[in-house]
Amino acid sequence: MVQRASDLGSPLSRRAFNARLAAKGLAAVALPVGARRASAAEDLTYFTWSGYDIPELHQSYVEKHGAMPATAIFADEEEAFQKLQGGFTADVAHPCSYALPRWREAGLLAPIDVTRLPEWPNVFDRLKSVDGAVADGQNWFVPIEWGRNLILYRTDLVTLSPEQQSWSVLFDESLKGKIAMFDGVEQAVFAAALVLGFNNPFDLNDEQLTAVKELLLKQKALLRFYWTDQTNVEQALASGEVAVALAWGASYVTLKSQGVPIAALAPKEGEQTYVCGLVRLKDSQAPDDVVYDFINSELAPETGKYFIEQFNYAHANRRAFDLVDKAKLAELDLSHPDDIFNNSVFLSSIATEELRQKYNKVFEDVKLGS
């Protein structure tokens, strides 16, 4: 039995993450979209998820400029995309890599001069090359944090053979009523596509999408529920209401600390891995020096150490791992990041906007049972 811990949760919802920050007393007050403030750092506006607007993640910037920059918050990349398309201006934003092609093609991004990033040589090469990060011979993305979405299961309720170390466990009829699935089109279509043997879950043709829909309809009949709140799925796993769930690495750490007999399988088709980071926005009005000061503050190994130790998040800078106690890395299954990358299928952008709409329609139909 292969049991895998993990480093972090999902980029697709930050509510539970924000609650954890608040519990640590780390949440910061952010400006509403469209606002700027007068301060020593007024030259920069950062457009990001809630929870990343804290000085601990930008120490060198705060030390140099005297304060955090103005911060505007988005709930997800779709909201951010629509606001930027609608005319909101910021300087640096924090999407995940699967959003990059869409943002760049919409003319929202400016290229990044990586020669102005002293830590760039220490960034994991695999993260530098994620889909959309490099195009037209230029860099458009600085990876910051990364992690995996995991299949968690109760070891006292489920016995899995080596053949069941697969995404197919989420479709196992013997577990009817004991499975929880994340309510997200990317995760659902991704899982079904891999089980069906489709090599590229992000560019499925109509025939493949029909097969995915049929499998997801079968899965729906097996599910206890679709979940959107991390606390709910953790409680269901802890109580035994659910025996298997697609969940986030943070849930593994939480449940393990509570003494719940929980494990995470390593699917033979590859783990679902994502990376989020920083982009420079085309309409930025901030001076170059200020922009690069800010990016460098998030890319610093000391920032990475804080990510790992405080949030159980992995960081893009290899040197950050040298600053963290080996026992902590082992606890989070981060002792060998390159091995993780080798067993990963990175979340990528859906190939076209038209196809994105088809994916959404498939998943909505599945949830409606049609």
Q: Please count the structural domains in the chain.
A: 2
Here the tokens at position 282 are 């085309």
Here the tokens at position 94 are 């924090």
Residue with tokens 């760049």: 104
Assess whether 336 and 359 both reside in one domain: no
Whether residue 54 contacts residue 26, with contact meaning beta carbons closer than 8 Å, is answered with yes
Residue 7 belongs to a domain: no
pLDDT tens, position by position, 32-76: 444 444 344 558 999 999 889 899 999 999 999 999 999 999 988
CB neighbour list of residue 28: distance below 8 Å, 6 or more residues apart: 53, 54, 55, 68, 71
The secondary structure element, H or E, covering residue 80 is helix 77-85
Is residue 310 scored above 70 in pLDDT?
A: yes
Is residue 13 scored above 50 in pLDDT?
A: no
Residue 277 belongs to a domain: yes
Output b/e per residue, 158-174; b: 16+ Cβ within 10 A. bebeeeebbbbbbbbee
Residue 153 belongs to a domain: yes
Quickly state the pLDDT bin for 161 (edges 50, 70, 90): confident
pTM of the complete model: 0.80
Residue with tokens 């783990």: 271
Assess whether 88 and 236 both reside in one domain: no
Residue 22 belongs to a domain: yes
Can you tell me the mean pLDDT for 148-169? 89
Is residue 109 scored above 80 in pLDDT?
A: yes
Distance, in Å, from the CA atom of 285 to the CA atom of 170, rounded to the nearest integer, reads 47
| Burial of 296: CB neighbours in 10 Å, binned 0-12, 13-18, 19+ | buried
Assess whether 46 and 102 both reside in one domain: yes
Assess whether 158 and 257 both reside in one domain: yes
To the nearest whole percent, how much of the chain has pLDDT over 70? 89
Here the tokens at position 249 are 């690495």
Assess whether 219 and 307 both reside in one domain: no
Distance, in Å, from the CA atom of 319 to the CA atom of 327, rounded to the nearest integer, reads 16
Whether residue 244 contacts residue 152, with contact meaning beta carbons closer than 8 Å, is answered with yes
Q: Rounded to whole angstroms, what are the CA distances from 276 to 10, 63, 354?
A: 10, 25, 24
Assess whether 23 and 133 both reside in one domain: yes
Residue 220 belongs to a domain: yes
Is residue 2 scored above 80 in pLDDT?
A: no
Assess whether 173 and 103 both reside in one domain: no
In residues, how long is the chain? 370
Range of the domain at 254: 149-272+349-368
Distance, in Å, from the CA atom of 55 to the CA atom of 53, rounded to the nearest integer, reads 7
Whether residue 281 contacts residue 92, with contact meaning beta carbons closer than 8 Å, is answered with yes
Is residue 19 scored above 60 in pLDDT?
A: no
Pairing mode, if any, of strands 134-135 and 138-139?
antiparallel
Can you tell me the mean pLDDT for 347-364? 89
Residue 8 belongs to a domain: no
The pLDDT assigned to 12 comes to 41
| Residue 125 belongs to domain with CATH number | 3.40.190.10
Residue 2 belongs to a domain: no
Residue 338 belongs to a domain: yes
Here the tokens at position 72 are 């505007």
Average model confidence (pLDDT) across the chain: 87
Output b/e per residue, 87-108; b: 16+ Cβ within 10 A. ebbbbbbbbbbbbbbbbbeeeb
Assess whether 267 and 277 both reside in one domain: no
Q: Could you give the angle at which helices 206-220 and 185-195 cross, rounded to 10 degrees?
A: 100
Distance, in Å, from the CA atom of 274 to the CA atom of 11, rounded to the nearest integer, reads 8
Assess whether 111 and 192 both reside in one domain: no
Here the tokens at position 161 are 């053979």
Assess whether 107 and 140 both reside in one domain: yes
Is residue 139 scored above 80 in pLDDT?
A: yes
The pLDDT assigned to 90 comes to 97
Assess whether 26 and 109 both reside in one domain: yes
Phi, psi of 321 (to 5 degrees): -70, -25
Assess whether 250 and 224 both reside in one domain: yes
